[in-house]
Amino acid sequence: MSGQRSMSAVQCAAAVTFFETGYGRDAVATRLSVSPNAVRKLHDRWRIWGAEVLVPKPTKRTIPFELKREIVQRFMAGETKVALAQEYALSSPQLIQRWARTYRAEGDDGLRPKPKGRPKRNPEAPVRAESELERLQRENERLRAEVAYLGKLRALSATERR
């Protein structure tokens, strides 16, 4: 359980206890007065991990592209998210659903790892030189603004003299 939580550790432990005694997601959400969505996510992970869902995982696991594609193809062929998440020891069945949505929208490229951070600037790329016309247009615009400012200043000082 990482990131910002909508349930405290005590509430998560209580929810797991309720799940183990046979309570459903809605009943647990009502009893603990927490978001049904948070309980649903915890319940989905509990179905895979059992009581171990309460143990924090030390690091984020990186899953190779080929494995992601295989899992998504098996899911799209009809296997359940929960069964696949258990087989591959994934943190949540929603992960498979997210991969499948990305795969449908972007194909194989959507499952490939994305580069981290800001893209590097290409030092060989030429810096676009400003054309003479653009430079003159910019200078003309600046001079027009200056003339307008001076005209307003002159009009203002003329009204103050009267």
- Mean pLDDT by 10-residue block, N- to C-terminus, for the chain (162 residues)? 68 90 90 90 84 73 89 92 86 88 91 84 70 91 95 89 75
Residue 40 near residue 25, CB atoms below 8 Å: yes
Task: Give this prediction's pTM.
Answer: 0.51
Q: What is the pLDDT of residue 1?
A: 42
pLDDT digits (tens, 9 = 90+) for 120-145: 777 776 666 778 888 899 999 999 99
The closest alpha carbon to 10, from 58, 51, 54, 52, belongs to 54
Q: CA–CA distance from 86 to each of 15, 36, 103 (Å)?
A: 20, 23, 21
The answer to whether the CB of 74 falls within 8 A of the CB of 103 is no
How many other CB atoms sit within 10 Å of the CB of residue 93? Answer: 21
